[in-house]
Structure formats: C-alpha cells, structure tokens
Chain A
C-alpha cells in the first residue's frame, strides 16, 4: 500500500522546518548553506498556513482522481508507479499553463521562481530510509509518513471532501 504524508494538525507549532527542509531538498546544493552560497532560491512544496489560532502544513495529497492530471494540457502531470503525482520525469514537460494551479483545491501546485514551470510535492526528497524531507524535519511529529489503511483513507478523504466541498 502506498505511503502518504499525513498531517496531525494539533501538533503543528508553525515553525516552518518542513518548508525549509523541502526547499533545501529540492535545491541543487542539497544543503541550506550550499544553496545560499550558490545564490539558489529553491521553492518549498509544503506550506505552513495560519488559520485563526491554528497553524498547519499543507502539501499535495496525491489525490486518487487527481484534478491536476485531468487538467494538464501537456500530458506532463502523471501518476508514478509508487502513486506519486508529479509533472517531472514523464515523457512530456510542463508548459506553465497553470491549469493544475487552477484546479488544485489545496493550492499545493505553484509556479517556480522564474514562472517557467509548475512545482509541487514530487517526493524526490526522501532520505536513505525513504522518509520525505518535510517529515524528517518536523520536530513535533505533526507530519507522519505512513501507510493509509482503507478505513482512515476513507476518513481522511471524507474530511477533506467535506472541508473543500466535494472536489
């Protein structure tokens, strides 16, 4: 069963460690200092938001019937064998038409710094134990990388659908 990055909202303190780790993992240098010294401006693909008193990280949910795959006019957005939804590594490349940006209900697909392609969680950030950088970096355990059993998958889906209105 494919693993998912799950969020335990009540544990998030809004430290943005996940955001920083994500950006660093997606930099050429693969280290914070290296990226800064190289003048890189890598983009994070997980975002910590403040909603009322709560803070919460939000990233791509790799949806089952992913609207971003439906919307991609280039055929770049696709699902890999491990269930990851990504616009890189396929036969076609992203054309920056922002159709995926228009339909992602989580706002989890964004443009790169230059505005030349869409970037999103691609899980190309896992360490030697197969743990994504955002999860590894989270000091409070708000992010968990785990298999989702059918029950909680249903529950999670239900919650998200309810919250965002059946998308």
Chain B
C-alpha cells in the first residue's frame, strides 16, 4: 500500500504518526511539501519574527522524524496536478507519484486583498517560515509598521514587530474592537490594554485603501542608516533626511479609507486565510467552504482523503458548513483521516470551530463555542485580573470566554462539546471551580 500525503503541517504530521502506529501495516508513505522546511509550528512564527526563537526551535517534530518513521519526504516541491482516474499526483519538478490512497492536507493561504500597491516591497503576510524570515529582515530596518487586521494573526504580528524593535506599530482594525470573532468587549479591552502597554497603537473602524510606495517621493517613514534607508524613523516625513528618495517600489506608507495617510516602511496584511482547494477542484472534487469531505474525511474523489485547513467542516453548534482552519482540528482530522485510510472506518464527529487560545503579553484569552446566546453570565474580577463569560442555551453551556486566568478551561470546552446539562453548576463554573463540575459528572454515572 502506498500512501501519499500532500502537505506537511499539523494534519500531515498527525496522519504520518497515525499511519505508523502499531497495526498500521508495512505501508510506503510519501509526503510532498510545498515548503522547503520540515514541519514547523505556524502559530509560533510571530516568536521567530520577534527574535525570541530560532527557526529550528519551532520545528514540530525532531529532525529525524521522517527517517525514523520511514517516510519519503519531497520538500520544497508543490503538487500541481491530481489525476484521480490514474491515481497519480504530478509534482512541479515533473515527477509523478502513484498512490493507493491520497491525503490532501494542503492547508490554507493568507488572503491578500487586491488593493493598489499590495504587491509592493514591504507588504507582507505572515503565514509561512519564508514570510517570517522576510519580515524579520525588513523589521530590523524599519521604525514604523502598519498591520491591517485586528484578528489573532494581526495582533500577534503587531506585538512581534514591537518586540523586534519597530518603534511605531499601528493596527488598523475594520471592526469597532479587536478580536471581534473571538472576544466580547470586556475581554478585547483587556487584550487591547496589554498591547497598548507594549506601545502598539490602534485605529478602529478603518481599513487600508492603498499601499503607497516611495517612487520618487519623500522618504516618509524611513530612517537613513549607514547610507541605507530604513523605513519609519521620520514619522512626519519631514526629518533631516526626509527629502531623500526611496528605492522604487518600496513601501512608504498606507492610505486609509478616510484618506488618512500613515507612514510605514512595512505592512502586514492579516485578513484571514482561504483554503487551498485548487488541486481537488481541478481534479473534479467537490468544493464548498473548503474541500468537501464525508464523515470519514473522504473527498468526492475515490481514495482521496482530506484534512486540515483545506477542508469544509460542519460546526458542531450551528450545523453550518465552515472552513476548518484551526490547528487543533487539523491535528485530529489528520489522525481520523489516516485511520480511515487504513480502513478502520472512524467517523469524525462535528467539531467546535471556535476554539482559540492566545497569549498577549501577560493576558491569556481562551474563546470556545458561541460568543452570544439566550443567557449570558459574566464574572469580572479586576483584582485577580480574571474575566469569565459563560453563554447558556437552556441548560447547556454553549460557549465561553476566559481572559486573565484560564486554568480549567478544558472542562468548559468539554461541556460545550458534550451538551451535558450543567445549569445547576453555574456558580461553580462562574467561580472557576471546574474540578467540582468535572467530578460531579464522573459521580453521576
């Protein structure tokens, strides 16, 4: 049996490990990865940008992972065509792979809205190691940066740029508050407060309309450093070197919807991701908000499975089809898909698709399930810097936000998942006495 896995991040790695579990049989495994690096943690790219971690330290598995598990790895080469009839995958370098069962773990790519100047030097996304590397190199030479997007990636990028030494970092947020898809006002305010402590600035209800380059213009927002320009020092654009010209095509600032101009030598576009569905779609596979899969994570193409950010899943709470796009889900889907590739027939239960944990400075936030619902209970204790928001739908916990102290969060998550009636434990849950609720569940058997 020859298993081919396209993709080498969370879902791909989880699939490899599952295929190699005892009982997995003596199969041949080939992994095709578009990126040249071995598997790494995307979520930790901001730490690389911030200079807190070396590239090797965000490697997901030890360097000998592939050799130890007997996996053939083709890295730095993209799969360009899938021929489900012949059970073949064509690679960019002309190679052909024949599979018995295939896993598409192609992930997602950062969205780059088609705005004027979005291709200029100095406009980045933060999705791959190559992005982080390029950003780091430029961040060292700039003193002003703009981040478009107040979501998790945008805020992590903003903080990382600040820690990397960029003097002025401004986040342009389309919504009236940050993390609008994860947090309520109170929790968002805690995160905002913390980021402001680091010196990150925010502009709300605004969007970037255009990225402007320094062609023939003033070196607005750039610093002269050893004869080379570094964006950002003269925020006004009228400093002693303000009249010098920038290299053509280099970012010098952004224009907002209301025509305000912000000087910037670097911009990060953090406007979400779109699933990489092309390979499946061109081969005739069904695609919705991602590659469509059945409960066994099999696509509409025979012997082609899919897992991770590239697929569409049904949200456990709303029943709506959504793009998967969460690290945790990618990992568990990789496991389930691999089990099904081995013929074990394991149905993948509908997942929670809001399942976020993040840390900004000293503020931890966890957000799971619904943000709003028929009944909402909150506890706000500024002394212990603890905020809890519990959303109930009848007797069931439908979602929660924890900010500040997050111990015991998993018990709430399990309750949201299970739908166990827990209204009678509202005091314990609001007070953070989660163990009590977990044990009461065990006792009630």
Judge whether A73 is part of the interface by a CB distance below 8 angstroms.
yes
Known: A74-B44, A106-B410, A165-B415. A98 touches B57 (CB 8 A): no
Asked if B83 is an interface residue, CB under 8 A from chain A, the answer is no
CB of B368 within 8 Å of the partner chain: yes
**Mask of A87-117 contacts with B, CB within 8 angstroms, 1/0:** 0000111011111111111110111000100
Considering the complex, which residues of chain A in the window 51-78 have a beta carbon less than 8 Å from any beta carbon of chain B?
51-52, 54, 56, 58, 65, 67, 69-71, 73-75
* A167 touches B (CB below 8 Å): yes
- B327–A71 CB distance below 8 A: yes
A-B contact count (CB 8 A): 147
Chain A, Cβ-Cβ closest to B434: A107
Contact of B439 (CB < 8 Å), options: A58, A74, A75, A91: A58
- Contact partner of B438 (CB less than 8 A), chosen from A67, A73, A105, is A105
CA distance A98 to B438 in the complex (A): 19
Chain B residues whose CB sits within 8 angstroms of the CB of A163 once the complex forms: 438, 441-442, 444-445
A-side contacts of B355, CB under 8 Å: 102-103
Instruction: Tell whether, in the assembled complex, residue A97 and residue B443 are in contact, meaning their CB atoms are under 8 Å apart.
Output: no
**Within 8 Å CB of A47, what residues of B?**
435
A164 at the interface (CB under 8 A from B): yes
CB distance from A165 to the nearest CB of B (A): 2
- Convert B291-328 into 0s and 1s, putting 1 for each residue whose CB lies closer than 8 angstroms to a CB of A: 00000000000000000000000000000000000011
Task: Tell whether A159 pairs with B445 under 8 Å between CB atoms, given A75-B41, A99-B357.
Answer: yes
Q: Complex Cα distance A49/B442, Å?
A: 12
Query: Is A144 among interface residues, defined by CB-CB distance under 8 A?
Result: no
Q: Inside 8 A of B59's CB, which chain A residues have their CB?
A: 75, 91-92
Complex interface: chain B residues within 8 A of A100 (CB): 410
> Which residues from chain B contact A97 at a C-beta distance below 8 Å?
43, 357-359
Indicate if the CB atoms of A105 and B359 lie closer than 8 Å.
no
Chain B at the A interface: SS class: helix
Is A99's CB under 8 angstroms from B327's CB? Answer: yes
Contacts of A50 in B (CB 8 A): 436, 439
Structural contact, A101 and B407, CB atoms closer than 8 A: yes
Chain A interface category by residue count = 35 or more
Residues of B within 8 Å of A102, CB to CB, are: 355, 357, 366, 368, 406, 409-410, 413
The minimal Cβ–Cβ distance linking B43 to chain A, given in whole angstroms, is 4
User: Which A residues are CB-close (under 8 A) to B434?
Assistant: 107
Whether the pair B445, A58 counts as a contact (CB closer than 8 A) is: no
Using CB atoms, name the residue of chain A closest to B18. A65
Q: How far is it, in angstroms, between the C-alpha of A75 and the C-alpha of B44 when the chains are bound?
A: 11
In the complex, what distance in Å separates the CA atom of A115 from the CA atom of B56?
Answer: 24
In the assembled complex, the Cα of A144 lies from the Cα of B417 at a distance in Å of 30
Pairs A–B under 8 Å by Cβ, sample size 14: A47-B435, A49-B438, A50-B436, A50-B439, A51-B440, A92-B58, A98-B364, A101-B366, A101-B406, A101-B407, A105-B411, A106-B411, A107-B438, A163-B441
* Given A75-B60, A106-B411, A160-B442, 9 extra CB contacts under 8 A: A51-B436, A58-B439, A70-B331, A71-B327, A75-B59, A98-B366, A101-B407, A102-B410, A163-B445
